[in-house]
Structure 1
Amino acid sequence: MNIDLLRASLSRRGVLKAGAAGTVLTALPSEAHAVGPDDAPFDYTNPATLSDWAPSRYGPRDQRGTLNEVTPAKTARVLRQTLDDNRPVKTYNLGTLMWSGFPTIQPYQPERRHELKLLLGGYPPPPGFGGHVAFEEPFGVNKLSVHEERFEPYCTFQIGSQLDGLNHIGAAGLFYNGFRGPDIARDHGTAMLGGEHTGPIVTKGILLDIVGVKVATGQQDALGAPAANGQPVLKDNYRITVEDIKQAMEFGRIDRIDPGDAVLLRTGWNNLLARRDPAELARWGGSGGMPGIYLREARYLAKFRPVLIGSDTWTLEVLGNPVNNDGTIIPVHQELLMRHGIRIAESYALDELAADRVRQFVFIVTPQYVEGATCGNSPPAALAQP
């Protein structure tokens, strides 16, 4: 989750002051999208409540959360049940394309950015070249030339398609399993809960095509203005409800979510990046809100103990009234990461899966193996037989 984008998006709205063919579904009543008693944020800042969520069900020193549900046996079962040896397999890239200048907002220092510079060696640079030149003459008797990247400061993994770690979001200095920020913070990252404890994930993926359901069933009130590339998107600040999730499961003929599954919700939001249009990028950044789930939905999905819950937005949870009018900031992140040890995936590209009507698949991601990192932004993949 891009904290810079979050701060800027909420500040602009004054919040921060300190399927299946033939499926018939009905529209949801507007009351389902309002904040209710099941949405009350939990007070993680009260030491008296620590025993309500820590230690974790996986043990007092656990650093992996629901990754523990992705056992070798589960991976073998997913591969066996999802892929047929007699049919070709299509590999889908679920990562969002990154480019130099990828949108992010810098409300404070040190800023974050994705900005690559090319380093070249072994030939004269072209006119106007703005990268780095290591050497111009070919190197060695074999006339070596070379290209590498150099990252401009300030690089972060918290940009683009990413999988949040359990050290990313906490409350009052407390993090997953009761680990305390002052005890684990180091110059390079964190001494516990870092990226080195994630590792490769191969499990069952589930696509909940929320925007696809709305289009297929004519629920126009849930849709916002189409993206510049003509693709449908959910309305800005549209709250995805538990009822929406159940409809998407029915639409995709998904009968269950098992422990260790990867659950991905499609809103269409990723299409706002397609044309790199400034107005579209501002909308993607949450200028008018952002569709997503809230606490009731997070708690509903958490009961299944998925390894991750993600979407094609950069925060997963809904932004905008009525859920953000009480000063509460991204409580879904606290609920999933802190209480349940469920990682959050953001800015995944899900449109190709939806176009091929793929609802269940083999999900693969190998986040960066970086000690102490708060997330990894290696693009994930899906294997399926559409």
Structure 2
Amino acid sequence: MTPRTLGTALALLLAGAAASTAVSAHERVPSGQQVGTSPWGPKDEIGRLNLITEASRAAILSRVSGGKAYDLATEYYVGMPSWQDAGDPHYQFWMTHTPRGTVMDDPMGVGETMNLTRSYTGTAFSMYSHTGTHIDALNHFGIHGKIWNGFEADKHLGDRGWNVTGIEKFPPLIARGVLIDVAGAKGMDMLPDSYRVTRQDLKDALARQHVQLQQGDIVLIRTGRMRLFEQPKAYMANPPGMGLDAARFLVEDSGAMIVGADNLSFETFPSEVSDDYVPLHTYLLAQQGAPIIELVALDELARDKVYEFAFIGGPLKIRGGDAAPLRPVALPVRP
């Protein structure tokens, strides 16, 4: 961005901010834009994950057929797709100990002979919590300082994360999983850039797959974007994603517990809602209590036409976290 265009952008931003001061905060809140209140009570911190019960786990695990297990997680590598352009840390990986370096530095004080005998390798990594295959906690997005179930940043957010709804509160994720291969249903390897998946797209794909959704499902949408995972710039540029009405179909009409996709944002841009740049995150996390999984590797499931499976996974228990890496596994089930 040149100084001139930067100046123009800042001027427009300041003009918009000045204009907004003439409108009260109440008037700026669009109709219905309030956080959801949990049907599981005022202390609920996990939203629709309450649909996981002993009975629901037993029902899906009793149908596991054995055989192949599908790994739905991406690899982590330096330069991988990330939100770096939004100011978030990109994935970094470095060596903290190497076999030859320990001989030189003797960090444990055990001497050259021991270090030559016992080769020591150690590594470290750092990243934004929304990197690679991950799941969003319900505190990730809210409305006017409030998140799911009315918890408030002024009361519940400290310097080291939220003291409610942190990702560490999530139980192990064991549920019926359903793949909806929208790209495949359209005869495409990958949906076009910025394509917004509709309610009808989902219905058509489900009919083609002969699968019906059930309450408590973990529903994963394949756009085909994972084909570009090794090309970070292409992967991040104008990805296809879900439309708001399609998300409503999954949660309100079909009872989905968790939704996810193979892109990095679940939704696509620009937003279809004038006063919300991330309407699906607002709707799913803050209003419906439905976690979102992103960057799910779905191509192998689609190739083998595995549309129904036992989903097993769990996020890292990062106290107060708004998201965490996830290593999900799909186990095919009998009809």
2:58 is aligned with 1:80: no
What residue number does 1:267 align with?
223
State the match for 2:49 in structure 1. 67
Alignment correspondent of 1:308: 258
Flag structure 2 segments of 5+ consecutive residues without an equivalent: 1-5, 14-25
Contact 1:123–1:138 (8 Å) recurs in 2:
no
Q: Does the 8 Å CA contact 1:122/1:139 hold for their aligned counterparts? A: no
1:192: which partner in 2? Answer: 164
Equivalents in 1 of 2:148, 2:91: separation in Å?
28
Q: Which runs of 4+ in 1 moved over 6 A?
A: none
Alpha-carbon contact 1:138-1:144 (below 8 Å) kept: no
- Judged with a 3 Å threshold, the aligned counterparts in structure 2 of structure 1 residues 118 and 328 are, in CA distance, closer, same or farther, namely same
- Following superposition, the deviation at residue 332 of structure 1 comes to 0.7
Q: 1:250 aligns with which of 200, 207, 220?
A: 207
Aligned to 2:69: 91
- The one-letter amino acid paired with 1:192 is V
Q: 1:382 to 1:178 in 2, by over 3 A?
A: same
**1:271-318 residue CA offsets vs partner (Å, 9 max, x unmatched):** 1113x3xxxx223113xx221212211111111332210000011112
**Any idea what SS the aligned residue of 1:146 has?**
coil
Quick one: distance in 1 between partners of 2:69 and 2:27?
Answer: 41
In structure 2, the CA distance between the partners of 1:184 and 1:77, relative to structure 1 (3 Å rule), is same
Q: Distance in 1 between matches of 2:58 and 2:267?
A: 32
Q: Partners of 1:159 and 1:350 in 2: how far apart? A: 17
Whether 2:67 is the aligned partner of 1:119: answer no
Aligned to 1:219: none
Q: How many residues end up aligned between the 2 structures?
A: 310
1:15-65 CA distances to partner (integer Å, 9 max, x unpaired)?
A: xx64xxxxxxxxxxxxxxxxxxxxxxxx99749968x65421111110010
Whether 2:196 is the aligned partner of 1:239: answer yes
- C-alpha contact (below 8 Å) 1:194/1:371 kept by paired residues: yes
Distance change >3 Å, CA 141–CA 331, structure 1 → 2: closer
Q: Output the CA distance in 1 between the equivalents of 2:30 and 2:279.
A: 18
* Structure 1 Cα separation of the partners of residues 81 and 245 of structure 2: 30
CA drift of 1:335 comes to 0.4
- Secondary structure, counterpart of 1:247 in structure 2: helix
Please give the secondary structure, in 2, of the residue aligned with 1:151. Answer: strand
Paired position in structure 2 for 1:25:
none
Task: Name the CA distance, whole Å, in 2 between partners of 1:44 and 1:346.
Answer: 33
* Partner in structure 2 of residue 284 of structure 1: 235
RMSD: 3.0
TM superposition score normalised by structure 1: 0.73
More helix by share: 2
- Consecutive unaligned residues in structure 1, runs of 5 or more: 1-10, 19-42, 127-131, 216-222, 224-231
Q: TM-score, normalised by structure 2?
A: 0.83
| Structure 1 residues 125 and 346: CA distance shift in structure 2, 3 A | same
* 1:151 CA displacement: 2.4
Separation (CA, whole Å) in 1 of partners of 2:54 and 2:239: 37
Q: Aligned partners of 2:36, 2:281: CA distance in 1, in Å?
A: 16
Q: Please, which of 125, 132, 139 is the counterpart of residue 151 of structure 1?
A: 125
* 1:209 to 1:305, Cα distance in 2 relative to 1, 3 A: same
Secondary structure (helix, strand or coil) at the match of 2:154 reads: helix
Say whether residues 1:106 and 2:63 are aligned partners. Answer: no
Partner of 1:203: 175
Q: CA deviation at 1:95?
A: 0.7
Q: Contact 1:305/1:342 (CA < 8 Å) preserved in 2? A: no
1:247 is matched by which residue type in structure 2?
D
Among candidates 295, 315, 318, match of residue 268 of structure 2: 318
Distance 1:366 1:105, change over 3 A: closer
Aligned-partner residue type, residue 359 of structure 1: Y
The alignment status of 1:167 with 2:167, answered yes or no, reads no
Letter in 1 for 2:174: V
Correspondence for 1:57 among 29, 36, 39 = 39
2:91 aligned partner, one-letter code: H
> What is the letter of the counterpart of residue 345 of structure 1?
I
> Structure 2 counterpart of 1:252, which letter?
Q
Determine if contact 1:199/1:366 at 8 Å carries over to the other structure.
yes
Tell me the percent identity: 29
**Contact 2:35-2:146 at 8 Å conserved across structures:** no
CA apart distance, 1:259: 2.0
Counterpart residue number, 1:298? 247
Distance 2:128 2:258 in 1: 21
Report the CA distance shift for 1:48/1:240 in structure 2 as closer, same or farther (over 3 A).
closer
